[in-house]
Amino acid sequence: MYFLFAILFYGVIGIQFTFPLRSKELKCFGEIIGQNSLVVGSVSANSSQFSLKIHVPQKKNDNILQYAHSLELHKFSFTTNNTQENYQFCIHNLANAGISFNFTLATGMDAQDFSLVAQKEDLKPIEIHLKKLNGLINSVEQEQKEIEERQATRFSNVSKISYKIIIFSVVTLILMTLTNIVQARQLKNFFKQKKLI
């Protein structure tokens, strides 16, 4: 069962797709990437008139990791920092005509090249596969920890919001009750003055 889950999870890590961009169009893709994760990718096009910007959008400033301009094939790689962030990959078509782009992104175990490890340590194919599985298990454990941290943060936020909603509801109920009491007294006094009661 775990082996099947590991294989399914392993297949989801790599992303590859093709998309068109019209003249002077900009398109950005976002990906939440875990802590201390290797990221390898490439952008290729049938023209060299495009730019690639990889950045981490933050509230106060944009932290630009890489910026490339006018390359037919641009490969990039970096290791994420100690916090989980939403990384954005923006591709800008600078040509006067539409261009088709091929975007590839691999993170975690999918981004690692085990052929160099196999050559250095003289490993057999089964040993390479075991190393991959071991790394995959470690990345799944790390991802599970990050999911638990996100879940705890969201639960805390939901608890705070629900507490505020309860307080708002109680205050609204008290105000409505006071308003009804005041209206009832005013109506009673009005009817007494008109001698209808």
Give the side-chain half-sphere CA count within 13 A for 140. Answer: 17
Identify which has the larger pLDDT, 136 or 104.
Answer: 104
The Cα 124–Cα 92 span in angstroms is 44
pLDDT digits (tens, 9 = 90+) for 23-40: 888 888 888 777 777 888
| Amino acid symbol at 8 | L
Nearby residues of 40 by Cβ (< 8 Å), 6 or more positions away: 75, 76, 77, 105, 106, 107, 111
The DSSP bridge pattern shows strands 38-45 and 99-107 to be: antiparallel
pLDDT digits (tens, 9 = 90+) for 48-75: 777 777 776 665 555 666 666 656 667 8
Region 178-185: what's the mean pLDDT?
96
The rounded percent of the chain whose pLDDT value lies above 90 is 20
Predicted local confidence at residue 72, as pLDDT: 61
Q: For residue 43, how many other CB atoms are within 10 A of its CB?
A: 22
Least confident interval from 2-16, 89-103, 124-138: 2-16
pLDDT at 126 over 60: yes
Tokens describing residue 80: 């994420």
Identify which has the larger pLDDT, 41 or 128.
Answer: 41
Predicted local confidence at residue 167, as pLDDT: 97
**What pTM was estimated for this model as a whole?**
0.56
- Distance from CA of residue 8 to its chain's centroid? 20
Reported as a pLDDT band with limits 50, 70 and 90, residue 9 is very low
The enclosing H or E element of 131 equals helix 125-193
Query: How close are the terminal C-alpha atoms of the chain, in Å?
Result: 80
The enclosing H or E element of 69 equals strand 62-69
Region 180-192: what's the mean pLDDT?
93
Identify which has the larger pLDDT, 55 or 183.
Answer: 183
